[in-house]
Structure 1
């Protein structure tokens, strides 16, 4: 049982790191002060922000799962179930 929990901890932490790496790799095009934006520019910016937000949310969930599994691991060790 301890091996399964440890493997799940490693996998969820790796998944979280991968999601955050993917989210941080997307850069928005800089807009200059006197530049006029059209609908295509706004659409690209909004899509990039939405995709980044989705990846960040997935990374946060993966991190929460990893933390919960670590807590479960320690609880089981404390209760002598491992």
Structure 2
């Protein structure tokens, strides 16, 4: 029982740290602003789409790891109550 609690505690910390890193990584890259007079080429639009997709994928992974940490915390509480 003690080993299970320790494993759950370490897993919760690991998932929380992974989640924090993923959210930090998704917000690290900024998309360059453009002016009204600037013409967008296909390469510019492609860079914007890639940046948005990359950020969305990292946010999805961060949300998943946060959910895993929450589920493990709930299991840990259930183990303590049992």
Q: TM-score under structure 2 normalisation?
A: 0.94
Deviations 1:8-56 (A, max 9, x none): 0000000000000100101001011221100000000000000000000
2:18 corresponds to which of 15, 18, 37: 15
1:63 corresponds to which of 61, 66, 74: 66
1:72 corresponds to which of 72, 75, 79: 75
Structure 1: runs of 5+ lacking an equivalent:
none
CA RMSD of aligned residues (A): 0.6
- Give the CA deviation at 1:58: 0.4
Which of the pair is proportionally richer in helix?
A: 2
Matched residue pairs, number? 79
Q: TM-score under structure 1 normalisation?
A: 0.94
